[in-house]
Amino acid sequence: MSAFWHDFLLDQDRLRPEAPAFSDTTGAAWTWAETAKAARAAADHLRDLGVRPGDRVLLLAENSCSAIAFLYGASMCEAPVIPFNARQTEAELQRVFDHAEPAAIVMLSDVSPDAGAHAARMGATLISGPFGQVHTKALPGTPEDIRDVAVILYTTGTTGDPKGVMLTHANMRFGGQTSAKLRWMTPEDVIYAALPMTHVFGLASVATAATYIGAEARLESRFSAAKLATALTEGVTLLSAVPQMHALLMQYVKEQGLDRLEGGKLRYVSSGGAPLDPDWKRRAEAFYGVPLQNGYGMTETTAGIAATQHTEANDDISCGPALPGVEIEVAGGATEGELRTRGPHVMKGYFRAPDRTAEVLDADGWLSTGDIGTIDAEGRVTILGRSKELIIHGGFNVYPPEVEGVLSDHPQIIQAAVVGHVVEGDEKVLAFCQVAPGDTPDIAALQAWLAARLTGYKRPWKIVCADALPAAPTGKILKHKLKDAFAGQF
């Protein structure tokens, strides 16, 4: 087995050097040989900046070929790379910067105006090479004995306290290889890569999987339903996305007067990042004309824990069984409760946070996920919700995904997010719904519609509708920002 994450790239350089590898919105279109050349040049530049094994390289990025070059280039230097969304604010960047103490920062100004703005503020130097034209800057840095770590991903939190998930070269190889096999990928596939590589789903399950198998990946720096609709008619065979992306695409196509996309080569569609609703799943499968696969994972597990492999459409909304080589169980042997997992997908730990690591990772390698779920007799995992997001209303448990699923079935609602809100000693169900621009649902009528579908304690106390909700680059709704974003409307 390869020792390093970047060995997947070197394998493709040897096996199919002239085959298409990565393309992006700047017009770059690289073969595997060109990608390997760019990664080697990126590694040489990082070494010139003084990067040593164990140093951290902070990569301010959006999806692009240059991002691929520096991701694998850092791996060649045995320097953990920190992919960070260039659209984050200066304050968000500074918190990670202070915690990680990188030895170099690379700003992908060739594809990201936001990275260019950070570069100008920090006085970085513009350089060019086979990897494109980017800004870089050397920093003091402090090497640590973490050469086995390939990537450090800082997870979205509610407190602003940074938490860096350390994924090893072995984690990344397992994630890429398993994802490729799970999706039946071949070198002939064309993958639409809009999921940000600054998040584990896009990095491991899409970009690394494409590199492992040698498939072409079309990198999209910023998600657009219109661009995705076009891409699906231009040879894309594989689409991995979060439910919000699917919902926005279906809404866009509906606005064009169509019920579904026709004439494409799409053969595989998957959803991850949020539970599925049965009715929504049926609509999605009718829209795409192929089964909608579901999965479950988290940053701490290199994206994957469980996934389906359906060969035809059905009503299964579970996340499927555990991936090969992965263990999963309900803590304490209960039928319902917090899920734990163990295997080659589990992170090394949180960077510079042994106490926080010990809170979730025990001596036997079991990771406590923080997710509440069940595992049926066939081993299929169903997620009920985050333990911290559970709403206890009137003494009854309310799982937000169930309410969100029902809301999303309403024809005027594109997507929904449900949170708890403490009012007079009780926790109320508060719903936020995205609707089409200019649409104003009748809230009383919506509540009446819900009354036929949800028991009383599950129905929202208040419903706020808007044409956009706070979202991460993946399209995933940022629940911790909802109340502030709509303060005064509930």
Q: Does position 106 have pLDDT exceeding 80, yes or no?
A: yes
Decide if pLDDT at 414 tops 80: yes
Least confident of 233-237, 300-304, 305-309, 385-389: 385-389
Task: Please name the residues in contact with 341: beta carbons below 8 A apart, sequence gap of 6 or more.
Answer: 301, 305, 322, 326, 327, 328, 329, 366, 367, 369
Q: Is 394 left (phi over 0), alpha (psi -120 to 50) or beta?
A: left
Specify which residues 423 forms β-bridges with.
426
Cβ atoms of residues 262 and 292 within 8 Å:
no
- The pTM of this model reads 0.85
Burial string for 306-334 (b: 16+ CB within 10 Å, else e) reads: bbbeeeebeebbbbbbbbeebebbbeeee
In the numeric block, the tokens 């997908």 are attached to 345
d(CA 95, CA 82): 13
Output the pLDDT for position 228.
94
Nearest Cα neighbor of 452 from 408, 416, 414, 406 is 406
Quick one: pLDDT at residue 78?
97
pLDDT at 3 over 60: yes
Instruction: Compute the Cα dihedral for 171, 205, 154, 363 and give only its sign.
Output: negative
**Among 9-13, 406-410, 422-426, the range of highest mean pLDDT:** 9-13
Average pLDDT over residues 154-169: 76
Average pLDDT over residues 436-456: 92
Q: What is the CATH number of domain 223-386?
A: 3.40.50.12780
The DSSP call for residue 159 is: S
**Gap between the Cα atoms of 22 and 218, Å rounded:** 6
Ranges of each domain in the chain: 7-170, 223-386, 390-485
Residue 303 CA to residue 204 CA, distance in Å, equals 7
**Residues 30-46: pLDDT tens digits?**
999 999 999 999 999 99
- Integer-rounded Cα Rg, in Å, for the chain is 22
The pLDDT value recorded for residue 157 is: 45
User: Would you tell me how many other CB atoms lie within 10 Å of the CB of residue 302?
Assistant: 33
Judge whether residue 303 has pLDDT over 80: no
* Other C-beta atoms lying within 10 Å of the C-beta of residue 377: 5
371 in helix, strand or coil?
strand
Alpha carbon of 259 to those of 228, 288, 289: distances in Å?
16, 10, 11
Average pLDDT over residues 432-436: 95
416-426: average pLDDT = 84
pLDDT in tens, 473-490: 767 788 888 999 999 898
pLDDT at residue 159 is higher than 70: no
What DSSP letter does each residue of 234-267 carry, written as one string?
TT--EEEE-HHHHHHHHHHHHHTT-SS--S----
Residue-level pLDDT at 426: 76
- Choice between 273 and 249, residue whose per-residue pLDDT is larger: 249
Q: Which whole number is the average pLDDT over 375-404?
A: 85
CATH of 7-170, one of 3.40.50.980, 3.30.230.10, 3.40.50.2020, 3.50.50.60: 3.40.50.980
Q: Taking the chain, what is the end-to-end CA distance rounded to the nearest angstrom?
A: 56
Structure confidence at residue 22 (pLDDT): 98
The residue-averaged pLDDT of 139-146 equals: 90
The pLDDT of residue 1 is above 50: no
Asked if pLDDT for residue 238 goes beyond 90, the answer is yes
User: Rounded distance, CA 460 to CA 454, Å?
Assistant: 10
Phi-psi region of 362 (alpha: psi -120 to 50; beta: other; left: phi over 0): beta
CA distance 26 to 23: 8
With 80 as the cut, is the pLDDT of residue 273 above it? no
pLDDT value for 277: 76
Residue 160 confidence (pLDDT) above 60? no
Mean pLDDT (whole number) for 283-300: 93
pLDDT at residue 388 above 90?
no
Residue of 409 and 423 predicted with greater confidence? 409
> In this structure, which topology does domain 390-485 adopt according to CATH?
GMP Synthetase; Chain A, domain 3 (3.30.300)
Question: What average pLDDT does the segment 386-412 reach?
Answer: 84
Q: Which comes out higher in pLDDT, residue 426 or 345? A: 345
- Say whether 390-485 and 7-170 share the same fold: no
Q: Are strands 327-330 and 381-386 parallel, antiparallel or unpaired?
A: unpaired
Task: Look at residue 162 and tell me whether its pLDDT is greater than 80.
Answer: no
- The reported pLDDT for the residue numbered 424 is 67
pLDDT of residue 259: 84
pLDDT band at 205 (very low <50, low <70, confident <90, very high): very high
